[in-house]
Amino acid sequence: MAKPEVIKTNYLVIETAMAAYAVLEDTRLLIATTLPDDHPFKEAERKMSEYCDDYGARGMRWASWQIAPLIESVWSGMTENEKDGDICWDFEFVPEFMLYCLNFDEEDVKPVIKGAEKLRDLYRTSRARCKAFVSKCKPSTVERDTFIQDCRDEAEKQWFYADLISDHPDAVERAFEAKEKPAEFVKALGEELDLHDFRSVP
């Protein structure tokens, strides 16, 4: 009986892909703490979550496998002090790198800049920036973020004015806490502000 073929695999890349997938899966939790609204990487977090919702488990597996070699190449060039305790690989480096150094757009996942050394520098400066950041807002949740995005979509649809939501954060917060429906809330808010309904224009 012939021996089965031995498949040579880089197990470090496999482990990195698994860690990356865990990060993406976390963005799909219904109840989870997310970054506060004024965090410098809030928009990056939103785009990552949106990518996961759009492409599902298959898309997340594909993305994880594509970005794993890049993550591993950047990590391998970190200093010994960084790799030996200063930065936790799976709970800090992998999720932070994905947030700071990757663009999750509508069709693909790409590095913000090209080159492992440049990405390493970007990671370090971004990490320092986030450590120094002091928020004036409380942490958010996926549920709240989804409500705000739904309201923005409705504001664009109803009033051609998505920033209606960011311009009136207190009203949005009250609507969320009262569990109002986005479409009804946005309609009432626009009417209260005497916004013009462009849909009625012939």
More confident residue, 93 or 1: 93
- Is residue 59 very low, low, confident or very high in pLDDT (cuts 50, 70, 90)? very high
148-200 confidence digits (pLDDT tens): 999 999 999 999 999 999 999 999 999 999 999 999 999 999 999 998 765 55
3-state secondary structure (DSSP) of residue 32 = coil
pLDDT higher than threshold 70 for residue 29 = no
pLDDT at 53: 86
The residues near 117 (Cβ < 8 Å, ≥ 6 apart) are 77
Confidence of residue 107 (pLDDT cuts 50, 70, 90): confident
Rounded Cα distance between 181 and 97, Å, is 35
Using DSSP's 3-state secondary structure scheme, residue 110 falls into: strand
- pLDDT for 2: 67
As a whole number of angstroms, the distance between CA 160 and CA 199 comes to: 9
Residue 7 pLDDT > 70, yes or no? no
pLDDT of residue 200: 56
Closest C-alpha to 27, from 51, 63, 1: 51
CA-wise closest residue to 28 among 171, 143, 182: 143
Strands (E), the chain: 33-34, 102-104, 109-111, 140-141
Q: How far is CA 191 from CA 88, 183, 202, in A?
A: 51, 12, 20
- Report residue 96's pLDDT band, with 50, 70 and 90 as the boundaries: very high
